[in-house]
Amino acid sequence: MLKITPDITISEKEIDERFIQSGGPGGQNVNKVATAVQLRFNIASSNSLTPETGDRLRRLAGSRLTNDGDLVITSRRFRTQEANRNDARIRLASLISQASREPRKRHATRPTRASDERRLQSKAKRSSLKRYRTNRLTNDP
């Protein structure tokens, strides 16, 4: 069980892990040992997530989402399978916990009078700077 929030826990059956060969440094073992992990989590078939959380998770996933609805997280930061596995699970948990929070509604506000005055003063200053930049000696068209 992967505990995300007090309300959300993901069972091990919902997570598919595959170990793949990782590029980069690794010495003699680099072409022999599959240390990178590719974690797959199907959002649509998960019973742990509410439909709203699933929708938010799909938006957050971006390019990590496949056409089948799988969220794919690849971790190859570390040289050991266990460290990469933990890293991928932590990243999955943080994505799900971020998706579980309902976004705040934005309340429309108006600019303050002082900010309006500052904006108009800066526009007037810029206008006068440009006005005095013209060459007043030549009036030829």
Task: Report yes or no on 124 lying in a domain.
Answer: no
Number of domains in the chain: 1
Task: Report yes or no on 105 lying in a domain.
Answer: no
Give the pTM: 0.65
Provide the residue range defining the domain that includes 90: 2-100
Ordered DSSP codes for 30-77: TTT---EEEEEEESTT-SSS-HHHHHHHHHHHGGGB-TTSEEEEEE-S
CATH of the domain at 60: 3.30.160.20
Task: Report yes or no on 49 lying in a domain.
Answer: yes
Q: How far apart are CA 68 and CA 54, in angstroms?
A: 14
Give 49-101 pLDDT, tens digit per residue: 788 888 888 888 888 888 887 888 888 888 788 888 889 888 888 888 888 88
Task: Report yes or no on 75 lying in a domain.
Answer: yes
Strand, coil or helix: 17: strand
